Amino acid sequence: MSDPEQAQEKLLSMVESLYDQFQEGIVPYLALPSRTKNNIEYDKDGEVWVYGDQKSLRSVKTIRGAKSLLRTSHLVELLIKEHLRHNRGSTLREIYYISENWDLAKFGEQGESDRLVEDLEIVTSLQREDFHVRPEEDGATVFGPLEIREQTRRGMRDIHCQEDVGEAGYQIPFNVDNIQFKDHDARLVLALETGGMYARLIENGFDQEYDVILVHLKGQPARSTRRMIRRLSLELGLPVAVFTDGDPWSYRIFASVAYGSIKSAHLSDYLVTPSAQFLGVQPTDIVDYDLSTDKLTDQDLHALRSELTDPRFETDYWKEQIKLQLDLKKKAEQQAFAGKGLDFVTKEYLPKRLSEMGLI
């Protein structure tokens, strides 16, 4: 993490470059990487997906570009004057509402303001936490044989993520780098898409029987959740498996953990766990276990075909699984295993799959 002075200097440097363009008679612009799947490439050294050389320009030559740079100037002013100089912060949602007072530069929707914060991360090579920008509370949790130390208003406190927490586990803070890992007895990190499956594994004692740290992804995982998983993997040397529903949107949840997401490829070295493995639900599981299914929608079919052209899914494994699912025209949820008994997933499926993967 950067200190406030460094963050301020980088933001000011960006604004000064726009001013210099004015002075030199150049139409002001910002050049940013194009954030599309056609502009991501594999970095063999870091084993992560990063942006390529394609650029998009934000120029005052157009009304849209002029508004974008005006919003950028307003946001930089907010971050420097209110956040960095006074050690205060705002949530992404609050920034959107603050912009309602920017007469000519207000955002039409929060997605626009969120993307502008990401643009500043790319331009400055910093993270939004360096600007004191927080997400809304995401509620993702961890449960398992892990002891941590965290900073609180009353000082440091130690927490065991099995013994000192409730049934839901330890809630991951938005700034995971404030946590220290003290000790653990784990063999594996298991990330789970749904709260129902997370609760099932805790209730069935899967974390204790197999010495597993369970992480509830809560759907598409927040940055803090992905950062937590990466740190558990790298710093504790633990393998990571991701257990999701069997549909194209869930495969993208896995991809955000293992490959990185397209919109945050600039943070891959910070958020991504390249060694993470996909556990299931697999299309082959639908056949092998005769799982209860739903029919793929037109949106599902389109998403699957899109993944076949996504470079992150260009492996024999994913091509075979996706093509099988397109043939089946079916999808299945994690909870479909409950049709074979409440203990089936923890007594049969997971031990078998994890053993086949060499993880237990």
Residues taking part in catalysis: 97
50 token code pair: 């990063």
Q: What does the angle CA 219 – CA 221 – CA 227 come to, to the nearest 5 degrees?
A: 160
DSSP annotation string for 80-110? IIIIITTT--EEHHHHHHHGGG-TTT--SSH
CA 211/CA 83 separation, integer angstroms: 42
CA 224/CA 173 separation, integer angstroms: 7
- Main-chain phi, psi angles of 192, to 5 degrees: -120, 135
Cis ω before 281 (30° cut-off from 0): yes
90 with 131: CB under 8 angstroms?
no
141-143 and 212-216 as β-strands: parallel, antiparallel, unpaired?
antiparallel
332 strand-pairing partners: 246
Element counts in the chain: helices (H) and strands (E): 14, 17
